Amino acid sequence: MMHIDIAKLLDDASVRHPNKLALAAGEQQLTFCELRNMSQRLAATFMSAGLTGERVATLLPNSPELIVCYLACWTAGVTMVPFEYIDAPPEILTGIQDCKPKWLIVHPERLDEVSKMDLSKTSIQKTVHDFSTLLTTPPQTLPPPSPDTLAFILYTSGSTALPKGVTHSHTSASGIIASVLSALNKVDNKTSMVIHDSVSHMGGWIEAFPLLYCGATIILDRDFDVAHYYKQLRKWRPSVTSAHVHQLWEIVQFPQAHREDFASINTVFSGGDEMPIPLQRDFMTLTGLPIQTGWGMTEAIWLTIAREPNLQQRGFLGKPVDKVQLRIVDKAGYDLPKGESGEIWVKGPMVTPGYWNRPEINRAILVDGWLHTGDTGLQDNSGNYWFTGRVKQIIERSSENITPGEIEQALCRHPAVAEAIAFGIPDPKEGQVPIAYICLKPGQAVSEDDLKSFLATQIADFKIPVKVLTIDSMPLLPSGKIDRKTLAQNYDRTASN
């Protein structure tokens, strides 16, 4: 696996292609030379302000300013803390109190909200909303940061607890970029991509920085809108596209969709949650292209890549990416044979050094370099890996263990079902019982009784949910994963009424 110095991420591209378009966002366009110059000026500003070794927080949408902040922090040895642009003031304040950044760089749109936050008792020494004032310091040669310097902290929106700050050093950030490029293996300076995932989140991060390193062009959108997505395809003719599961459903169901819209695309990838087989089929029917699915998490990404979809069984993860080591272990930490499901442990250069200010959690999940992912899976006889569920989501019903994925896969085999999610709820007699939520395909209808009858032909009786509820759409986390916590809370409120 290649080593990438993220403090010099644009050096090669700005020399080889100084006048090539690096990024576009709305009416703004920057060449590689311009982008590097801006980031060097900001890095010099950080250095002169004594911020090396400190943290700088941002509240910025997808924009050139956000990209410049990342690059400048890495050059100056500053740790970037990008808050999601959609974060509410209490969430921002919680993050500030946790990681204690010195500066907060805010988009003018959010300045009124931030001004009403009581930052006087926090670590924030300076709030900046006029980005141009940060670019007045001439570029200068700066000492290289240590490989162990923290590059950034991303706060995860956990489904069961308060967000935790996932740290990545210059070394692990380099490992992430290298693993993504190894997985995609078609990215070069002729590549272009429209990015609608937030670059303040790992989903957008792994799209922006591997491409910029290769001299590719990125087009930044603030968020996903399916009609705008198609307009961007037709305008920019990108070679790479990416979308989460719920976005892909919108893409295939868009009334004005045509195969010609995807004529320039050679790579489609997705992550965040399991890929429903009907969605793979519908997307391939529309575009003629397979969806490559990468498996990973904010703590370590990418770990596996499935370049060719498995259209027979859900949960296919494919093969490990270069330099990734995987183990399937039982509850005692012993390796399991092929075909048996257990927790997936991973080791590799892209693994987080740990959570910010969470030493007890770090000791529990990072042991001898092995990250305990909390995901469960198995390896088949061909060396492929399969996702089977999550350790904390196992449903224990009358001493029987049920993996939610078993129920979800069975429900998705019904011709009317587009998406399904299952989880356990407390039960006084059985400990836990499963319930499920589903979304139907357009124009489809099916009763709960019919679904349960169908499930009786697919899974054992004790795995059949006591309730199957139909909703229009699934609530989502910023990662694109279904928010089980919200669904469970909604069910609790419904059941108590």
Rounded to whole angstroms, the Cα distance separating 352 from 365 reads 11
Percent of the chain at pLDDT exceeding 90:
82
| pLDDT at 310 (0 to 100) | 86
Residue 160 has pLDDT above 50, yes or no: no
Is there a shared CATH topology between the 6-379 domain and the 394-496 domain? no
Residue 158 has pLDDT above 60, yes or no: no
Give which of 336, 334, 335, 306 is closest to 318, Cα–Cα.
306
Rounded to whole angstroms, the Cα distance separating 53 from 50 reads 8
Cα of 377 vs its chain's centroid, Å: 19
Q: 152-161, 176-185, 205-214, 356-365: which range is least confident on average?
A: 152-161
Backbone angles phi, psi at 232, to 5 degrees: -70, -40
- pLDDT band with cut points at 50, 70 and 90 for residue 30: very high
Cα of 359 vs its chain's centroid, Å: 24
Backbone angles phi, psi at 9, to 5 degrees: -55, -35
| pLDDT at 88 (0 to 100) | 87
The three-class DSSP label of residue 170 is helix
Report the b/e string of 102-141 with b at 16+ CB within 10 A: bbbbbbeebeeebeebebeeebbeebebebeebbebeeee
Residue 311 has pLDDT above 70, yes or no: yes
- pLDDT band with cut points at 50, 70 and 90 for residue 405: confident
Instruction: Name the E strands within 103-220.
Output: 103-106, 126-128, 150-155, 165-169, 192-195, 217-220
Q: Before 302, cis peptide (omega within 30)?
A: yes
Map out the domains of the chain as residue ranges.
Answer: 6-379, 394-496
| pLDDT at 205 (0 to 100) | 98
Q: Report H helices in 49-184.
A: 64-76, 89-99, 111-115, 170-184
The set of residues, in sequence order, having a beta carbon less than 8 Å from that of 338 and lying 6+ positions away, is 378, 379, 380, 381
DSSP states of 39-52 as a string? HHHHHHHHHHTT-T
In tens, the pLDDT along 175-185 reads 999 999 999 98
C-alpha torsion 173→176→180→183, nearest 10: 150
- pLDDT band with cut points at 50, 70 and 90 for residue 403: confident
**Whether 434 contacts 404, CB under 8 Å:** yes
**Whether 391 contacts 375, CB under 8 Å:** yes
Backbone angles phi, psi at 116, to 5 degrees: -85, -10
> Cβ-count burial of 345 within 10 angstroms (0-12 exposed, 13-18 middle, 19+ buried)?
buried
394-496 is classed CATH 3.40.50.10490? no
- pLDDT band with cut points at 50, 70 and 90 for residue 1: low
In tens, the pLDDT along 39-80 reads 999 999 999 999 999 999 999 999 999 999 999 999 999 999
**Whether 435 contacts 468, CB under 8 Å:** yes
Q: What angle do CA 481, 319, 263 make, to 5 degrees?
A: 70
| pLDDT at 333 (0 to 100) | 96
Of 59-63, 117-121, 460-464, 476-480, highest mean pLDDT = 59-63
Backbone angles phi, psi at 144, to 5 degrees: -70, 135
6-379 is classed CATH 3.40.50.12780? yes
- pLDDT band with cut points at 50, 70 and 90 for residue 161: low
The one-character DSSP state at 440 is E
**pTM for the predicted model, two decimal places:** 0.87
Report the b/e string of 144-164 with b at 16+ CB within 10 A: ebebebbbbbbbbbebeeebb
> Phi-psi category of 237—alpha, beta or left, where left has phi over 0 and alpha has psi -120 to 50?
left
Q: What is the mean pLDDT of the chain?
A: 94
Give which of 192, 245, 235, 200 is closest to 62, Cα–Cα.
200
Q: 107-116, 228-237, 297-306, 393-402: which range is least confident on average?
A: 393-402
> Cβ-count burial of 472 within 10 angstroms (0-12 exposed, 13-18 middle, 19+ buried)?
exposed
Rounded to whole angstroms, the Cα distance separating 27 from 350 reads 35
Show the tokens assigned to 122: 């926090």
| Average pLDDT of span 346-371 | 97
| pLDDT at 431 (0 to 100) | 84
| pLDDT at 157 (0 to 100) | 61
Q: 51-65, 94-108, 335-349, 380-394: which range is least confident on average?
A: 380-394
In tens, the pLDDT along 235-294 reads 999 999 999 988 999 999 999 999 999 999 999 999 877 888 889 999 999 999 999 999
> Phi-psi category of 350—alpha, beta or left, where left has phi over 0 and alpha has psi -120 to 50?
alpha
C-alpha torsion 164→103→21→196, nearest 10: 40
**Whether 159 contacts 483, CB under 8 Å:** yes
